[in-house]
Amino acid sequence: MIEMKKVFKLYSNGVTALNGVDASISQGDFVYVVGPSGAGKTSFIKMMYREELPSKGQVYINGVELSSLKHKEIPFLRRDVGVIFQDFKLLPRKTVYENVAFALEVIEENPRKIRRRVMDVLDKVGIKHKARFIPAQLSGGEQQRVSIARAIINNPKLVIADEPTGNLDPDTSWEIMKIFDEINSSGTTVIMATHSKDIVNQMKKRVIAMENGQIVRDEQRGEYGYEA
Ligand code: ADP
Ligand code: ADP
């Protein structure tokens, strides 16, 4: 589903964040991306939803080369990819319900269907009972549940998460990780940059380790492999 061929990313400040990355990820994979800060993890995953373009090399999603997408085609890619961040990025003045419904880009869908879809997804991530709350009234773990709901509302084939448990305590991180595991069980590809060493070591998923803009390790049922 995702192919990267000799991908380089050179930012305008002269930093080389990706230094010849080759990667291949299949539909249904669950991949942890690990490595020290500054290794290139965020840049690597930004390539997959065209948040950044490679300076050199190619990124393909289901055979489509992302650099070749026209501007008006980008929303169609984004609809197939759900993205989750460490800091949730919820709209502060909207309720939980509105934050999730907002992302439902269905045209000609009747309001009752939208309502059912939003409530289904809120139920799936365990936050349905707080549909009328605003983000400031929720704990960090609850806010992350909402942002996961928002990311999966369009049934994306790919879910990308950049340190989704970075602001959460260990117990809450585990709860969030279980939700990602369930999403993956239904066939959705999950790619997650993380520093959660214990979780990576216990989950025994594929691990891609990065250092200095390169993939230095790629193991099925891998381990975190760093001290912190
Ligand atoms: P990681 O997620 O592993 O911490 P990043 O991909 O965020 O790594 O960063 C890799 C390198 O690229 C770092 O040196 C970082 O400072 C630099 N970098 C990241 N984003 C930008 C940017 N938008 N402009 C300039 N440099 C950047
Ligand atoms: P945690 O300790 O896990 O971060 P909090 O102490 O922030 O959680 O919140 C505990 C519970 O109280 C959560 O379910 C949250 O939704 C609810 N809560 C927190 N602040 C408010 C508020 N201002 N209004 C309504 N509910 C709130």
Residue matched to tokens 């890619």: 77
**Rounded mean pLDDT, 123-149:** 98
Quote the pLDDT of residue 207.
Answer: 98
Which region holds residue 19: left if phi is over 0, alpha if psi is between -120 and 50, else beta? beta
Q: What number is the average pLDDT over the span 141-164? A: 97
Contact 74, 50 (CB under 8 A): yes
Could you say which ligand is closest to the alpha carbon of residue 55? 1
pLDDT of residue 145: 98
Q: Separation of 47 CA from ligand 1 center, angstroms? A: 13
CATH number at residue 163: 3.40.50.300
Query: Does residue 226 fall inside a structural domain?
Result: no
Give the full edge-to-edge strand order of the sheet including 2-10.
16-25, 2-10, 56-61, 64-65
The predicted pLDDT at position 76 comes to: 85
Within a domain: residue 25?
Answer: yes
Phi-psi region of 91 (alpha: psi -120 to 50; beta: other; left: phi over 0): beta
SS3 209: strand
Closest to 223 measured CA to CA, from 194, 212, 214, 205: 205
Share of the chain above pLDDT 90, in %: 89
pLDDT per position as a tens digit, 63-103: 999 999 999 998 888 889 999 999 999 999 999 999 999 88
- Name the closest-CA residue to atom 10, ligand 2: 139
In a domain, 225, yes or no: no
pLDDT (tens digit per residue) in 36-63: 999 999 999 999 999 999 999 999 999 9
Identify the pLDDT of residue 57: 98
- Work out how many domains the chain is built from and give that number: 1
Ligand 2: which residue has its CA nearest to atom 15? 138
pTM metric for this prediction = 0.89
User: What's the CA-to-centroid distance between 45 and ligand 1, angstroms?
Assistant: 12
CB of 35 sitting under 6 A from ligand 1: yes
pLDDT score for 75: 86
207 occurs within a structural domain: yes
In a domain, 59, yes or no: yes
Tokens for 141?
């773990």
Is residue 140 a contact partner of residue 171, using CB atoms and an 8 Å limit? no
In the prediction, which pLDDT does 109 show? 76
Q: Is residue 35 part of a domain?
A: yes
Residue 204 within any structural domain of the chain:
yes
* Proximal ligand: closest to the CA of 140: 2
Burial class (CB in 10 A: 0-12, 13-18, 19+), 80: middle
Mean pLDDT of 125-148: 98
